[in-house]
Amino acid sequence: MNIIVTGASKGIGREIVKYLNRNSMHHIFAVSRDKKQLESLKSECTNPENVEIFDGDLTQNLESADFYKAIQKADCIDILINNAGMLINKPFMDMSEEDFKSVFEVNLFSIVKLIKLTVPSLRKSKNPHIVNIGSMGGIERSSKFAGLSAYSSSKAAIANLTECLAEELKEDNIHCNCLSLGAVNTEMLQQAFPDYKATINPEEIAVFIGDFATKYGRLMNGKIFSISASTP
């Protein structure tokens, strides 16, 4: 399968790439900004020849990026895992409009752009699947935490977009689902909850996300799943 994983330099995305790469049948396009981290990721992979790394900012113009050219060259894209994300932890009254916009740029608009660019290649796959990585904070009536208003509302938006796209892309046979994660031990969790240690590590959740994305897309469409073992 040809698989795009965004946010591949660290945390959950890095482990998703490593897990999926154990299967030598997969070709992975791994994207994020930190080139050094992407290079070290590739060197840690079991089948590094099957991982193409692209350092780029997903909020910038993607059409001129090498990444986009590589996608276009591929026969098709089977799986798009929209994992890249960012978080600002600040009281709502201290959040500037720019703060809010920067969170939505990464957590919503970059995904919108990438899906638009990728749909022509997804259409060429037999079983195309878009997996959006959401958050428990973006789930209606879940516990909410002070300081995370922009982050959580952006994740609510991506969950809703998932449902909308499942409907709109069903004629193309493209399934779109959202995994709304609970706490996983990464830098982002530290930023949100500095004194908290989660029971789940990125390696564990990566196995679940990788299997879900590659094996179970046909079984569901437009679904939002809470994948959470604790609060937060």
Ligand X SMILES: NC(=O)c1ccc[n+]([C@@H]2O[C@H](COP(=O)([O-])OP(=O)(O)OC[C@H]3O[C@@H](n4cnc5c(N)ncnc54)[C@H](OP(=O)(O)O)[C@@H]3O)[C@@H](O)[C@H]2O)c1
Residues that bind ligand X (CB under 6 A): 6-13, 32-34, 37, 57-59, 83-86, 106, 133, 135, 181, 183-184, 186-189
- Residue closer to ligand X, measured from CB, 172 or 187: 187
- Considering the complex, what minimum distance in angstroms separates the CB of residue 173 from ligand X? 26
- Residue closer to ligand X, measured from CB, 57 or 168: 57
- Considering the complex, what minimum distance in angstroms separates the CB of residue 215 from ligand X? 20
- Considering the complex, what minimum distance in angstroms separates the CB of residue 112 from ligand X? 14
- Considering the complex, what minimum distance in angstroms separates the CB of residue 120 from ligand X? 21
- Residue closer to ligand X, measured from CB, 77 or 86: 86
User: What DSSP letter does each residue of the chain carry, written as one string?
Assistant: -EEEEES-SSHHHHHHHHHHHTSTT-EEEEEES-HHHHHHHHHHSSSGGGEEEEE--TTS--TTSHHHHHHHHSS---EEEE---------GGG--HHHHHHHHIIIIIHHHHHHHHHHHHHTTSSS-EEEEEEEGGGSTTS---TT-HHHHHHHHHHHHHHHHHHHHTGGGT-EEEEEEE---SSHHHHHH-TT---S--HHHHHHHHHHHHHHSGGG-SS-EEEE-SS--
156-161, Cβ contacts within 8 angstroms, sequence gap of 24 or more = 157/104, 157/107, 157/108, 158/82, 158/107, 158/108, 158/111, 158/132, 158/134, 159/132, 159/134, 159/224, 161/108, 161/111, 161/112, 161/132
- Residue closer to ligand X, measured from CB, 79 or 133: 133
- Residue closer to ligand X, measured from CB, 125 or 232: 232
- Residue closer to ligand X, measured from CB, 82 or 125: 82
- Considering the complex, what minimum distance in angstroms separates the CB of residue 158 from ligand X? 8
- Residue closer to ligand X, measured from CB, 125 or 227: 227
Q: At 155, list the tokens.
A: 């994740």
- Considering the complex, what minimum distance in angstroms separates the CB of residue 126 from ligand X? 27
- Considering the complex, what minimum distance in angstroms separates the CB of residue 33 from ligand X? 3
Residue nearest to ligand X as judged by C-beta position: 11
